[in-house]
Structure 1
Amino acid sequence: MPTVQAWTGCETRALRQALRMSIREFAENLGVSERTVSKWEAGRDAVHPRPEMQAALDTVLSRAGSEVVDRFVAATSRTAPQHSPVATGFRVQSHKFIPAYVSAPTTPGLAARDGFHRRPHEWLDVSIVELPHAEGTCTAHVFACGVVVLHVVQELHFRTLAALATWRYTTYEEDVPWAADQVMGLLSPTPSTDHVAPEYVLSMYVLQESAWGDGELENALRLMSLPSVLVNRHATPYPEPVDDHVERRLLAQGFDQPSVQPFGVHGVSLGYASWAGVAYHALSPERALRVDDLVSCEVDVQMLWAYCRHIQRQVEDGRDPAMPPEFGWRFLRAAHSRLTTARARETAQHCMMREATLSTSGLPARLVQAQTALRETASLSGRVDT
């Protein structure tokens, strides 16, 4: 009987196919959802089921007949990794940013709890706390203005970019409700009536190892920043990767997408940003941006995006937006200036990264709109000069 040291999505798929089962049948056999099985298989080598599911998969394999075992061994032998760590694909560090508005009066109580500690920030109080995550690490950034940003980090290994793109779309369906549960857990036992559940996930990928040559590497980063071109999102029941030949053609020839903006420095780094996410690779790590610099910028952008979205939601509901005075239109005016104006000691790399991230996010326009809405409300109430 073969032994699997650690089940990944690849072995899981091989076992299901060896059993001649559909995803639905296999999920019912294990007692999990179809979406969970699809997520395992889309994640390939990068996804490791939880310990209890590892044990369940061991049991299924141990009870299988000899023909099933033979098919499983043959399939896993064909897909076994080679000696080179990048010969079968690439390694990437995935960063997911999931913001939610929880209201400003709520955050002081959160920040005062055990486990929270202050994070240095230039212009806004923020506290952080570590949250459990089954397949990576998660840090909750609690901002004084009333926004929580969950930052999830996962180490991934994929054979193709299409596999990464499919994993992204598949896992996002679970990330949003999971994040909502985490935020509700932070707010318990007194959730705010103004609390808004997370609506979206923004990704950043930091490429660590790859087998792409110089001619394909830039195209690979561009595809990472805008992965929708590698996924059939209309496939049922779940998104599916495009054929390998499509990815090979895009890597070799590139693709024209004006919404993707570069921010790398020749010989130092490759960086691309789009509305869907950010991709970065340090060619010269000692001179390139630190990952913390990229994360800090994205956390701030997503925090302000969620804050402005809450104001926009009030306007669309036909209400005059009401926010605490210290986080009113002057706060947004200051935030807009800090994000869009270069600092005296800021490097060219920082400026390019920040400008690309801001322009593709659409945040500057949202800041202006939210600032205008709050100022109009303040004018109507007589708090500012008209």
Structure 2
Amino acid sequence: MPTVQAWTGRETRALRQALRMSIRDFAQDLGVSERTVSKWEAGRDAVRPRPEMQAALDTALSRAEGQAAARFVAATSEADPQDGRIGAGYQVQSHKFIPAFTGASAAAELAAQSAFRPRPHEWLEVSVTGVPHPEGTCTAHVFACGVVVLHIVQELHLPTLASLAAWRYASYDKDMPWAADQVARLMSPNLTANHAVPEYVLSMYILQEPAWVGVELENALRLMSLPSVLVNRRAHPSPEPVDDHVERGLLAQGFDQPSVQSFGVHGVSVGYASWAGVAYHALSPEQALMVDDLVACEVDVQMLWAYCRHIQRQIEDGQDPAMPPEFGWRFLRAAHSRMTTARARETAQHCMMREAMLSTSGLPERLTQAQSALRETATLSGTVDT
């Protein structure tokens, strides 16, 4: 059984990852707040939990068996600085969101399965279940309106930003068919869904151990949110990373891309969003947004985007779009209001995050268009108040 002489933030994070636990679950297991765990992990070697927490971490480690214990040992072992793992480059947590429209009736039958459990949500019924992933962890979110969102989390240790961009392209080629297989697996034989095929992947990167400071850190996060500038997409047989001197130039000088929107707070966080993804780094974990906050917002954005895409597809196929009455134009009107209006207890950071994610995704316009299309159909059929 592995032992730790003195726990620091680095060992704490290694244990959580080895146990395949989220920050929320790990914090609950230890009896501390999520922000406390985030603070430990962000502080790395400079942070040592209190003595009673050292004992609690010892207990958590003692319960780790088999592969979990092996993963902890591997993560905390000395590594060659040139091997691309711990101690080299930078560390980032990749979050991928892959939505698929299934239809409300199929979603209801999925949520009724024993593997699913309800997930708290302010305005819509949501159920979740774990899905095995070969290179990370995955959670399937099933929304009552008829959308499944697969959320994949992967831990990466990389030497350059260009290597992240190339990995992104290569992994997407595997993610799409994998996600289609998982959605099909979740759907039992008696369930049918006309459009239960994922169409795209959106990424969010949480930078945990940066290799840059100052202006370069800002530029690195901008590049993470729009990584396509760091790959040669014309290379064969697959896109390749740009040369190192190109990346160094972009890090030092930045790049002009108006579509990238900042939502960081000076001295607290660095955050950028684009149509291609989101990148975030907490400079002050106690004050910054929590990862769960970013994930919850992005899951909702991708769910509604896929819902509106299904309505758009019906129109493009020459049909009058139709949805169940409880998820018709009034549902979309309410969703638009909830997503675009600040809540009473919402912080300025949450508002900036939500606005950046929404504006770069184009979701508000899609919600308005889908709402108008459904209302027009309801009017023609005589089922809407005029």
If the TM-score is normalised by the length of the shorter chain, which range does it land in? 0.7 to 0.9
Q: Distance in 2 between matches of 1:314 and 1:167?
A: 34
1:194-220 CA deviation, whole Å, 9 max, x = no partner? 233000000000000022121210000
1:200 corresponds in structure 2 to 200
Q: Tell me the secondary structure at the aligned position of residue 188 of structure 1.
A: coil
The count of corresponding residues between Structure 1 and Structure 2 is 309
1:80 corresponds in structure 2 to 83
1:353-384 CA deviation, whole Å, 9 max, x = no partner? 00000000000000000001000000010001
Q: CA deviation at 1:341?
A: 0.3
Q: Does the Cα contact within 8 Å between 1:126 and 1:144 map onto a contact in 2? A: yes
AA in 1 matched with 2:317: D
- Taking the TM superposition and a 5 Å limit, the aligned residue runs for 1:365-380 are 365-380=365-380
1:233 aligns with 2:233: yes
Q: CA deviation at 1:291?
A: 0.2
Question: TM-score if structure 2 supplies the norm length?
Answer: 0.78
Q: Aligned residues: percent identity?
A: 76
1:218 corresponds in structure 2 to 218
1:120-142 CA deviation, whole Å, 9 max, x = no partner? 00000000000000110000000
Q: Distance in 2 between matches of 1:332 and 1:368?
A: 8
1:227-250 CA deviation, whole Å, 9 max, x = no partner? 000011121110100000000000
Q: CA deviation at 1:81?
A: 5.7
1:257 corresponds in structure 2 to 257
1:285 aligns with 2:291: no
1:52-101 CA deviation, whole Å, 9 max, x = no partner? xxxxxxxxxxxxxxxxxxxxxxxx9894369xx44x31000000000000
Question: TM-score if structure 1 supplies the norm length?
Answer: 0.78
Q: Distance in 2 between matches of 1:132 and 1:100?
A: 18
Task: Decide whether aligned partners of structure 1 residues 245 and 121 sit closer, same or farther in structure 2, where only a CA change above 3 A counts.
Answer: same
1:308-333 CA deviation, whole Å, 9 max, x = no partner? 00000000000001100000000000
Q: Tell me the secondary structure at the aligned position of residue 330 of structure 1.
A: helix
Q: Tell me the secondary structure at the aligned position of residue 98 of structure 1.
A: strand
Q: Does the Cα contact within 8 Å between 2:106 and 2:193 map onto a contact in 1? A: no
Structure 2, unaligned runs of 5 or more: 1-66, 68-78
1:155 corresponds in structure 2 to 155
Q: Distance in 2 between matches of 1:123 and 1:165?
A: 35
Q: Does the Cα contact within 8 Å between 2:84 and 2:157 map onto a contact in 1? A: no
1:226-274 CA deviation, whole Å, 9 max, x = no partner? 0000011121110100000000000000001000000001100000000
Q: Distance in 2 between matches of 1:200 and 1:350?
A: 26
Q: Distance in 1 between matches of 2:312 and 2:84?
A: 49
1:362 corresponds in structure 2 to 362
Q: Does the Cα contact within 8 Å between 2:165 and 2:241 map onto a contact in 1? A: yes
Q: Tell me the secondary structure at the aligned position of residue 206 of structure 1.
A: strand
1:121 aligns with 2:121: yes
Q: Tell me the secondary structure at the aligned position of residue 132 of structure 1.
A: strand
Q: Which has the larger radius of gyration?
A: 1
Q: Does the Cα contact within 8 Å between 1:184 and 1:191 map onto a contact in 2? A: no
1:343 aligns with 2:343: yes
1:273 aligns with 2:273: yes
Task: Decide whether aligned partners of structure 1 residues 385 and 283 sit closer, same or farther in structure 2, where only a CA change above 3 A counts.
Answer: same
Q: Does the Cα contact within 8 Å between 1:308 and 1:366 map onto a contact in 2? A: yes
1:6-60 CA deviation, whole Å, 9 max, x = no partner? xxxxxxxxxxxxxxxxxxxxxxxxxxxxxxxxxxxxxxxxxxxxx9xxxxxxxxx
RMSD, matched Cα:
1.6
Q: Tell me the secondary structure at the aligned position of residue 96 of structure 1.
A: strand
Structure 1, unaligned runs of 5 or more: 1-50, 52-75
Q: Tell me the secondary structure at the aligned position of residue 92 of structure 1.
A: strand
1:267-305 CA deviation, whole Å, 9 max, x = no partner? 000000000000000000011000000000000000000
Q: Does the Cα contact within 8 Å between 1:215 and 1:252 map onto a contact in 2? A: yes
2:134 corresponds in structure 1 to 134
